[in-house]
């Protein structure tokens, strides 16, 4: 099988290059993202392998179909960046449903601890031998209320972590998992009662801007918010207004509504034209990271293995257990 691998970074090759050889695949690594302008690079390949800030819209899928590309191999769990309906019956879409939920949940808790206890600021201060504690006071998480939105694999890992911190945990999910030891409440109640809100639902038409002007207004004063899921779950304008109004104790964003083309790239030598992102960077209680919750050795290895297993199943007519329909 010939695979065109898009948005390649050096850390992708560490796993995909040797494993691809073991499977006998011919993988061509393109640094370019997969987008309208680059879709024709897929000509002559059996599959394209894409990441979270690549996309495949209906027109691109039609082009893939005409070029006889059989599959889109997603190196991610989320699939909001592919027009699944357009792909039906034309190009098979295969994803990695789970690689290391703990990687993302541990990172989410790490973000909360950082913005709450200002370890990012303390790190810089102590390097200058500025040992002052002024402005670095946080709050205990113990016995506070965590609100987990989405109780799938990552949400469940986050619930375990919050319980380990001695927190009271509330959850919201339209498909509650009754086997979990957690109290499900309506979304409005969660928003109003949680000291910490962590987003772990996928991006869909229903969840877009699930955090918006109205839900922010109902949150507790001093609430902590962390988003390691998808940027568009939060209405960024409303978030900025909430931050300006002093609503939030702290905000951790591993994802951002307009991250495509910015996250995963070194933009340090350029003028940042995204004004919302630039504004978010100015708040002392906001931590932004570049969509890296997944980024552990274990997760990367698992992503490579499942992605190539998916390709192997396709090539050999085996059941496509990870196809997205």
* Interacting residue with ligand NAD among 207, 215, 236, 310 (CB under 6 A): 207
Nearer to ligand NAD by Cβ, of 8 and 46: the residue is 8
C-alpha neighbours within 13 Å on the C-beta side of residue 138: 20
Strands 26-29 and 2-5: parallel
Does residue number 291 form part of the binding site for ligand NAD (CB under 6 A)?
A: yes
Can you read off the two tokens belonging to residue 9?
């970074």
* Residue 256: CB minimum distance to ligand NAD, A: 11
Number of shown-chain residues binding ligand NAD (CB under 6 A): 31
Does residue number 110 form part of the binding site for ligand NAD (CB under 6 A)?
A: no
* Residue 1: CB minimum distance to ligand NAD, A: 25
Site mask, ligand NAD, residues 147-166, x = CB under 6 A? --xxxxxxx-----------
- Cβ-based burial of 66 (10 A; exposed 0-12, middle 13-18, buried ≥19): exposed
Does residue number 104 form part of the binding site for ligand NAD (CB under 6 A)?
A: yes
* Residue 195: CB minimum distance to ligand NAD, A: 19
Give the Cα separation of 175 and 171 in Å (integer).
11
Does residue number 174 form part of the binding site for ligand NAD (CB under 6 A)?
A: yes
Nearer to ligand NAD by Cβ, of 220 and 230: the residue is 230
Q: Which of residues 49-88 bind ligand NAD (CB under 6 A)?
A: 77-78
**DSSP secondary structure letters along 161-223:** HHHHTT-EEEEE-SS--TTSSSEE--HHHHHHH-SEEEE-SPP-TTTTTSB-HHHHHHSPTTE
Nearer to ligand NAD by Cβ, of 200 and 220: the residue is 200
**Phi, psi (degrees; rounded to nearest 5) at 166:** 75, 25
Contact of 307 with 96, CB cutoff 8 Å: yes
The strand order across the sheet containing 47-50 reads 26-29, 2-5, 47-50, 71-74, 92-94
Q: Which residues bind ligand NAD (CB under 6 A)?
A: 77-78, 98, 101, 104, 149-155, 172-175, 200-204, 206-207, 228-230, 254-255, 291, 293-294
């Amino acid at each position: 099988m010939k695979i065109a691998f898009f948005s390649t970074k050096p850390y992708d090759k560490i796993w995909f290059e040797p494993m691809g050889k073991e499977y006998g695949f011919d993988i061509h690594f393109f640094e370019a993202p997969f987008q309208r302008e680059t879709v024709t690079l897929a000509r002559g390949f059996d599959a394209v392998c894409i990441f979270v800030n690549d996309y495949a819209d209906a027109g691109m899928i039609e082009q893939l179909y005409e070029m006889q590309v059989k599959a889109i191999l997603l190196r991610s769990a989320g699939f909001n960046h592919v027009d699944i309906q357009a792909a039906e019956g034309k190009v098979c879409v295969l994803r990695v449903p789970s690689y290391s939920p703990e990687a993302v949940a541990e990172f989410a808790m790490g973000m909360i601890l950082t913005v709450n206890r200002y370890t990012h600021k303390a790190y810089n201060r102590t390097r200058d031998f500025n040992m002052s504690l002024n402005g670095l006071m946080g709050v205990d998480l113990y016995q506070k209320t965590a609100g987990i939105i989405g109780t799938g694999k990552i949400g469940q890992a986050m619930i375990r972590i919050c319980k380990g911190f001695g927190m009271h945990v509330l959850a919201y999910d339209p498909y509650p998992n009754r086997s979990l030891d957690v109290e499900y409440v309506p979304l409005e109640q969660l928003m109003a009662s949680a000291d910490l809100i962590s987003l772990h639902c996928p991006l869909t038409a229903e969840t877009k801007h699930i955090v918006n002007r109205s839900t922010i207004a109902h949150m507790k004063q001093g609430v902590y918010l962390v988003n390691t899921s998808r940027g568009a779950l939060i209405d960024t304008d409303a978030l900025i207004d909430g931050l300006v109004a002093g609503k939030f104790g702290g905000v951790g964003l591993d994802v951002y509504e307009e991250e495509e083309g910015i996250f995963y790239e070194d933009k340090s030598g350029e003028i940042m034209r995204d004004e919302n992102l630039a504004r978010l960077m100015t708040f002392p209680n906001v931590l932004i990271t570049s969509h890296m919750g997944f980024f552990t050795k274990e997760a990367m290895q698992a992503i490579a293995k499942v992605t190539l297993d998916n390709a192997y199943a396709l090539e050999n007519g085996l059941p496509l257990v990870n196809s997205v329909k």
